[in-house]
Amino acid sequence: MYQVKDNKLVLNHGSIEKGLIAVASGKGGVGKSTVTSNLALSLKEKGNRVGIVDADIHGFSIPRILGLKEEPRALNDKEIIPPEVKGIKVMSMGSFVGENEAVIWRAPLLAGALQQFMEDVHWGELDYLLLDLPPGTGDMALNIMQKLPHSELLIVTTPQVVATKVAGRIARVAEKLNINIAGVVENMSYYKCPDCGHKEYIFGEGGGKELASFLKTDLLGQIPLEPEIRKLGDEGQPLILNNPGSEVTRVYNSIADKIENNRGEFDPDVKPLFLQGSPGGKKKV
């Protein structure tokens, strides 16, 4: 899908200079797409050129959260210009089907959609490309980690044990495929009373820190449970742009800083690696 050249990931129609970040969660409902969208905007606000691949083909929500209305434009049968919203280039199944329509595709077609999003889209020169993965360790998430070995896995979880234990499973898959784990983001960490400032740990406390310790990686940030995030996300107006002085925005900016500061180099010797018995794979790891 790409090659490494001059410490960049060179695509058919563009390049990625700083990072290919796969945002993952073990289970749905932990705010993975919200984290992807706001983190992308935070990176963009710091002067980076950013794109998003909404790889959650069945459960796409990036267009709704970002307020994307524009559709992709086709140059020809195999070349696509991605729509842009709030300075972010986005490719999502939500640009091709209605928001209320079901995408009834099996694994081979899903893998084909990912390949098209990577190979046929004119991304241009990007600093970061974020991939919003489907929850769990199913075919789509596995295909992405197999075919994009230079990606880094950013794990999103809530503090509760159920979420952290399931999130740990996808991290273990990443380790078996030699995918680097960029860190853990704990979402919905606590609710802070706007009147007295008291913090209520609705979903438990410390789960993200424990998961990061277990995986020997960093806890990049703890994002509060803020009703405004849900409201603005439903309206296509992400909080990070509409309330730049909020505590949540400060956390996202801190996460973006850590990602930029931890940037490594793209190893040209790294190649796709397959789990034994996985689609297209015979090599045991």
Residue-wise pLDDT for 186-209, tens only, equals: 999 999 888 888 999 999 999 999
* 283 within domain boundaries: no
> 233 labelled as ligand-binding?
no
Bridging pattern class, strands 88-92 and 3-5: unpaired
Ligand-binding annotation for 86, yes or no, is no
Task: Flag whether 27 is marked binding.
Answer: yes
Alpha helices in the chain (DSSP H): 32-45, 62-66, 107-119, 139-147, 161-176, 207-215, 227-234, 239-242, 247-261
Q: Do residues 164 and 191 make contact, with C-beta atoms less than 8 angstroms apart? A: no
In a domain, 23, yes or no: no
Q: pLDDT value at position 66? A: 94
Please state the length of the chain.
Answer: 285
* pLDDT for position 86: 96
In a domain, 36, yes or no: yes
Q: Is residue 247 part of a domain?
A: yes
Contact 27, 136 (CB under 8 A): yes
Q: Is 19 annotated as a binding residue?
A: no
34 occurs within a structural domain:
yes
pTM of the model: 0.88
Residue 105: HSE in the Cβ half-sphere, 13 Å Cα cutoff: 18
Q: How far apart are CA 124 and CA 176, in angstroms?
A: 32
- The enclosing domain of 114 has a CATH number of 3.40.50.300
30 assigned to a ligand binding site? yes
26 is in an annotated binding site: yes
Task: Report pLDDT for 38.
Answer: 96
pLDDT the model gives residue 139: 64
- Residue of 138, 152, 150, 180 whose CA lies nearest to 26: 138
Into how many domains does the chain fold? 1
Q: What is the pLDDT of residue 98?
A: 47
Query: Is residue 9 a part of any domain in this protein?
Result: no
Task: At 104, give phi and psi (nearest 5°).
Answer: -100, 80
Q: Evaluate whether residue 140 is within a structural domain.
A: yes
Give pLDDT, residue 281.
47
Is 165 annotated as a binding-site member? no
> Does residue 1 lie in a domain region?
no
Intervals of the chain under pLDDT 50:
98-100, 102-108, 277-285
| 98-144 pLDDT tens trace | 444 544 444 445 556 677 888 889 999 999 999 998 876 656 677 77
The reply to whether 161 sits in an annotated binding site is no
- Give dist(CA 180, CA 188) in Å, integer: 25
The boundaries of the domain holding residue 74 are: 29-261
Backbone angles phi, psi at 94, to 5 degrees: -65, -15
pLDDT at 104: 42
